[in-house]
Each structure stands twice: as C-alpha cells, then as structure tokens.
Amino acid sequence: MTLDYQIDGPENEELTKPSQGGPLGADMERRDGRDKVTGSACYAAEYRPKGLLHGVLKRAPGTGAVRLSNAEDVGTIPGVRLVLQDERMIRNAAQGTAGEAPVQGVSKAEYVGQPVALVVAENFETAWHAANRLQISCEGASLPVLPENGEVDDDMQEEAITGEPATAFSDAEVFVDETYTTPALTSAPMEPHAAVAEWHGDRLTLHGSLQMLRYNRLELADSLGIEPEKVRLRAPFVGGGFGSKLGISADCVAAALAARELGQPVRVVQHRRQVFEVNTRRSETRQRIRLAAGRDGRLTGLGHEARVSNLPGEEFSEPVLQGSYFAYAAPNRLLRSDLVRLNRPAAGSVRAPGEAVGVTVFEVAMDELAGKCGIDPVKLRLRNLPEAEPGSDRPFSSHRLADCLTKGRDSFGWDDRPAEPRQRREGEWWIGTGMAAAVRVNMVMPAEARVRLTPEGRAVVETDMTDIGTGTYSILGQIAAEGLGLAVDDVDVCLGDTDLPAGSGSGGSFGAASTGTAVWLACEEIRREIAGRMGCDAQELTLSDGHAACGNDRRSLPEVLAGEPLSGRGKLEPGEALEKVRQATWGAVFSEVAVNDVTGEVRVRRLQGTFAVGRVLNQRTARSQAQGGMTWGLGLALTEGMAHDRRDGHIVNRDLAEYHVPVNADVPHLDVHLLEDLDPWAGPLAAKGIGELGICGSGSAILNAIHHACGVRIRDLPATPDRILSGLT
C-alpha cells in the first residue's frame, strides 16, 4: 500500500498533522552520534571485503591527448595488479540529479587534474607509489583558463527583463552601480570521496560516499553500460558532501571497472587534492549590481548581471540570480547571467548554489545603497519587501523576512549603532556592526519511504535517503515516532541502500522535508490501516504510547497487529505548488566585527542569525545546520578561495593547509534563533529547507560590518588582510 501525495495546494485536510510537544521538534541528540565518535559507524572506505585491492587515480598534469609512456614498467612493480585506462572512466563527477553518465573518457584531458588512469595494487602504498611513477604526457593546443579569455556559451544565457530598467537607472535619484567578484570555492567535506566495489557475477555492490543514491545508481550504471537493476549502492554514513557528492564520482566508476576486470573487490579513495580537483567546485563569479532608488530608499530599478564559468559539456551554471528574482520589489528589473566555457575543473553545486554568492553580493550592494540614501540598513530592506513575487506576481507561500529582520534587530541590539562608519575604536581595532537579509529558494523533490511496524509494535523506517552529517537518522526517527505514537527509541531507521525505497537524497536543503514527508505519509498509511481495524476514521484515531485509541476503544499495538507486521509506503511528488506560489526560506543575520588598523585582520565578535525555515524537526540538529551555514558564510567572507594557476587553470591551493576554511579560532559564538513558520504549502509536515540558508546572508553581514567598522568596502571576496589594508589609511 502506498500513499501518494502531491503538494498541489495549501494543507490537505485528510492528512494528520503533527502534535505539539511530541517527539517531533524536540531537542534530541543524534542517534548515530555515539557510533560516529567511537568509530563504529562504517564509512565507505572502511569496508574490507576479502581480497580487497587498492586503486589510486592518476591525474593529468596538462591538457590535450593523453599518453601513458611507461605503463608497462609500472605494471611490473611488485604488487601492482593493473594500470587501467578505460574510456568509461569519467572526466569529473556528475552534476546533481543528472541520472546519467557525465562526460567520459581518458584519452583526452580537458582540465589539469583530470583522472586519466587507475593504478591498482595489493596494498595502498604500492598503488600510490606506482601511480606517482606513472608518466603521463599531454599534448594539445593551450585551452582557455581565464574568465576573460573564455567564450560565452549562448545556450546557457539567462535573462529576465521587467519594465524599463535602463530608464530607471538613468533617472535614479540615488544610484549604486558596482561590480563584485567571488572566487571559486570548494565543498571540502571531511570524508574524502571513496568507493569499495564488489561484483557478484554481473551484479555490482558499491559502497560509496554519495548524497543522492537514486540518481547515483543510474549514473553509475550508465557509465558502466549496464542495467541499473544490476547495481546496488550503499552509503549508510557519509562524512559531509556539501554538493560535491551529489553526482557519481570518478572513484566509483574506476573502482567498479577495475573490480570487474580483476575479479576482486577494489577500493579507490580520493586523495585530498583530488577531492578539490575531480569533483565539482563552485564557479568564480563576477557580478554587477545596479540599484536605482528614490531618496526614500524605495527601489525603482534593480540590475543583477553575473558571469560564471564551467567546463565544456557541463550543463550547470551557478544560479547566481536565484534570490534576486524575489528578494526585493522594484518595478524595473534586469537579471542576466552568462556562462563562459573554461578548461578549469568542472563547476557544480556547492552548498547553497546561487544564493551563497548571489545574495551575499546583492546584500552588500543594499548596504551601499543604505549608506547613499542615509537610511538604516534594516529599514531599507523593510521598505522594499515585495507583496508578491516581482515579475510573476505569484503569491509567497509564506513571507517571514520582515519578522526575521525586526526580531533579529531587536535581539541583537542593532539600534545602538552609530550611523556613520569609523566611529568605534578599541586600541588598534575598529569595531562595527553589519546586517544582511538571507533568502533561499525552497525545493521539494520526489521521495519514497517505507515504514514497517513489527508485531511487537516497533517501527522500522526504510529509504535510500542519506545522512550526510545533517541528522537524517534522528529526524526520520522522530517523524515516524510522532506519526505512530511511539517513543523514538522504538523506531529503527535504515538508510543509504538502493535496495530500499528511493528517497530524495541529500542536497539543496530538500532532504529533510522531502523524505521526511514521505515517511510521514507512510505512517499515515499505517494509521489508516489501523483505523480500519479499529473500525473508525483515521482522523479519529489516536496513536500514543504504543497504543491505538478510538473513542473508548484503546488497544496496544501488538494487540491490534495480532502477530502480523504492517507496512506502509509513502510517496511524495512536488506537485503544482511549485508553479502556484513562490516558496522560500527567510532570515536575517547581524554581525559585529573588529578590524585591526595595523594589519587589516578581521575578528568576528558576534554573529546572530534569525531564520524562518518551516517546522523545526529537531531543535538541536536544526540549530547545528544553521550554525554550519553561518560558518560557511564566514569563510566565504573572510578566508576561502581557490587559486587557479593563470597559465593552465589548475587549482594551486588544493589541500586544507592552503585552502583556508575557518578554524575554531575564527568563529565566535553563533547565536541562532529559529522562527516557527508553518508554511501551509509545505505539505503535512510544513517542513522546509534549512541547511543552506545560513550561508546566504552571513557573509554579507560580516562584509557590511567591516565597512561600518573601518570604512573599507570589500567588493572582491574574500576580505583577506591585504585587501582590507589597501583601503586603510
């Protein structure tokens, strides 16, 4: 029995709603936390099937036609079993939800660092050494690697014009016209991408580190040229993904090919440097923002033009404009994005694709406008909130930005700030505050889940959904406990296995709401069956404390089940809601920073986020998600950026010593306020995305605070000491 549900409109009266004060929403520690910190959670590379061999991917040191000049010699190194060069190997990881093989082939390298061979040996050290010994020559004309040299791909252009923006710009009483740049960024998950491939006849089982198994299975099967039914993927634990594990990765395909050829299981773990190179990075961006306003700060026109890049053959374009479609009202609008083709490592989704860099930059421009108008930055934003989505006039499913702005402002103590920059000094340090709005589109993806109720009255949740460190095990357990009136400890959760019903996968902040709703629907299906057995309507049934009650009839679940298990399946489809309303999540971030007048160093003293993200499923994991996002925002503002070599485009700083993610010493106490926002268009759970929202405003709150502190406006990210210093006098 499957309960199908499509979100076509506001809440469905036939579906049960979660209760207040139940397991759902509670502040609960992660149920897998202990396994993780004690090391008993088994990650992909930790599977050790008998006869396991070890493979190492070899990178192209240049671009052009690839030749392996000493493969035979390397093959004779004791312990080496195979030097594999197979045209089915993939050039880079697949894009999220591709569902088919990405660009394949090893005879030609299209970016420096592309995997072009796999060396397999009896132990890792031998394979690594042999891969280092393998000589690769690349011959070909030099390829464009600098954005100014790349060719614009007309097919990838995005443009939306409303009204007459050109006139609005030329007639503006107050006008901001600035260009900003953001560097390429990496996902930097803690666990490197890894695969252990095992064949049983013509059936492949692959333990991988992947975010979206239902698509990854199709991508892997297509890459190998076999039927998806022959592929089983397992990923019960994933040590972070942040977009880099959305699509099938080079280690998986190479491990599967080698294992097939050798008739033994093969493990391939990406080296940290490969994690940077062979998956997908966030494109660098150049963004021109134009804001036309009256002296009262009311926007009459806005322009957001972006240039991003990607490798030839990739269909992904960093959706920089995504937040600009709906964040602010302005009758005249120009939104435009161009993509240039570059032979740098492939670009793809990195946490909060689009808004992470688009909203961040736009919110800096809004701060510039506030300064020019002499209006408080919070008031400026409140003055420009749209009634409906500009351009389309679709209503918002819920709009909580004003609430976030005012609640955040009040709890931060914003109104104490001097209006002008460079007013507060403590020794060498300039002190300032800044704020930004945060918006992020809310997405729902198809998802299925099964819930089984055992005759003893325990529940088992089953889906191929992944937990990439977000707390999925915990919240799905809470949802089923809520739906079936059980204690959370009476619910087991099985994830990360394509033998189970296909969940949404993790990505785009849609996992919890999409797969969570599928679990809720599966529970509803069970409720209906139980109600039938009790002879009442599902709406009249109460499930609590392991008992079912209808009126005066109250029975224990084992009694109702009478020795037979019960199973329900839930299936969620996005539906027409996507068309009928603009659905988003909302936030406001406030920050206080200190800027050193001697060195240009920045210390973030306070970072406060107020977020409206639908129903909060678990206070603790939700807060952690928000804090993680805010930390990303801090890194985006202050420390992170890939350096591409100007001659061949390769990533120069491709390890975690030289690519600077924030360390603990950079991150202050992160103050998170979650506003309950039961969006009626978000299905029976009213849950929405949370993971990415924190990134979308935090960086600009910090950049704006830097300006308020010391008067230096940073338009080229990140705000490293040298960039701030060049503005300090």
Partner 1 sequence: MRPFDYHRPETSNDALNLADEEAAFIGGGTNLLDLMKLEVMTPDQLVDINRLGLDQIDEVSGGIRIGATVRNSDLADDARIRRNWSVLSRALLAGASPQLRNRATTAGNLLQRTRCPYFQDIDAPCNKRVPGSGCAAIGGELRNHAVLGTSDHCIALHPSDMAVAMRALDAEVIVRDAGGGTRTTALVEFYRLPGDTPHIETTLTPGELITGVHLPVPAGDRQVYRKVRDRASYAFALVSTAAVLRMENGKIVSASLAFGGLGTMPWRNEEIEALLTGEAPSNALFDKAGEVLMKEAELREGLEFKKPLAQRVLKAVLTEATQ
Give the residues lining the site for partner 1 (CB under 8 A): 59, 61, 125, 128-129, 132, 428, 598-601, 603, 638-639, 643-647, 652-654, 657-658, 660, 662-666, 720-722, 725-726
CB of 585 to partner 1, least distance (A): 29
Q: Which two tokens stand for residue 313?
A: 């053959």
Token pair, residue 566, equals 């019960």
* Burial degree of 661 (CB within 10 A; 0-12, 13-18, 19+): middle
CA–CA–CA angle 467, 470, 400 (5° rounding): 130
CB of 373 to partner 1, least distance (A): 33
What dihedral angle (degrees, nearest 10) is formed by the CA atoms of 390, 395, 400, 402? Answer: 40
Pick the closer one to partner 1 by CB: 642 or 685. 642
Question: Cα 121 to the chain's mean position, in Å?
Answer: 35
Number of residues assigned to the chain: 729
φ and ψ at residue 297, rounded to 5 degrees = 85, -5
d(CA 342, CA 360): 24
Among the listed residues 469, 445, 436, 465, the one whose alpha carbon sits nearest the alpha carbon of residue 188: 469
Question: Which one, 544 or 599, has the nearer CB to partner 1?
Answer: 599
CA distance 554 to 209: 45
Q: Give the strand pairing for 299-310 and 332-341.
A: parallel
Structure tokens at 542: 């109460």
Q: How far is the CB of 673 from partner 1 (least distance, A)?
A: 26
Alpha-carbon distance 60 to 109, whole Å?
A: 6
Contact 198, 255 (CB under 8 A): no
Q: CA–CA separation, 414 vs 190, rounded Å?
A: 36
Q: ∠ CA(162), CA(154), CA(444), 5° rounding? A: 65
State CA 525 to chain mean position distance. 31
Residue 56 or 356 with smaller CB distance to partner 1: 56
Question: In angstroms, what is the minimal distance from the CB of 674 to partner 1?
Answer: 28
Closest distance of CB 111 from partner 1, Å? 13
Pairwise CA distance, residues 571 & 3, whole Å: 6
- Closer to partner 1 by CB, 74 or 584: give it: 74
Distance CA 258, CA 138 (A): 23
Among residues 514 and 591, whose Cβ is nearest to partner 1?
591
Contacts of 624 (CB under 8 A, 6+ apart): 471
Stated as kind and residue range, the H or E segment containing 228 is none
CB nearer to partner 1: give 415 or 722: 722
Q: Which token pair is 27?
A: 């502040």
Catalytic annotation, pick one of 277, 363, 640, 692? 692
**Least Å from the CB of residue 31 to partner 1:** 29
Report how far residue 717's alpha carbon sits from residue 723's, in angstroms, rounded to the nearest whole number: 9
**Cβ atoms 443, 212 nearer than 8 A:** no
- Residue 63 or 478: the one with the smaller Cβ distance to partner 1 is 63
User: Is the CB of 129 or the CB of 381 nearer to partner 1?
Assistant: 129
| Residue 371: CB minimum distance to partner 1, A | 26
Contact 106, 116 (CB under 8 A): yes
CB under 8 Å to 21, separation ≥6 — which residues? none
| Least Cβ distance, residue 128 to partner 1 (angstroms) | 6
3-state secondary structure of 432: strand
d(CA 686, CA 641): 36
The residues, ordered by sequence, that sit 6+ positions from 46 with a Cβ below 8 Å of its Cβ are: none
- Identify which of residues 38 and 664 has a Cβ nearer to partner 1 in the complex: 664
In the complex with partner 1, the residue whose CB is nearer, 408 or 662, is: 662
Active site residue 692: yes
Pairing relationship of beta strands 231-234 and 2-6 according to DSSP bridges = unpaired
* Minimum distance of partner 1 from residue 63's CB (angstroms): 12
Q: How many CB atoms lie within 10 A of CB 151?
A: 11
Q: Answer whether 713's CB lies under 8 Å from 722's CB.
A: no
Strand residue runs (E) in 237-342: 266-269, 285-293, 299-310, 332-341
Q: Least distance from C-beta 639 to partner 1, angstroms?
A: 5
Find out whether 703 and 719 touch, Cβ atoms under 8 Å.
yes
| Closer residue to partner 1 (CB): 133 or 288 | 133
CB 251 → partner 1: shortest distance, Å? 18
The residues assigned a catalytic role are: 692
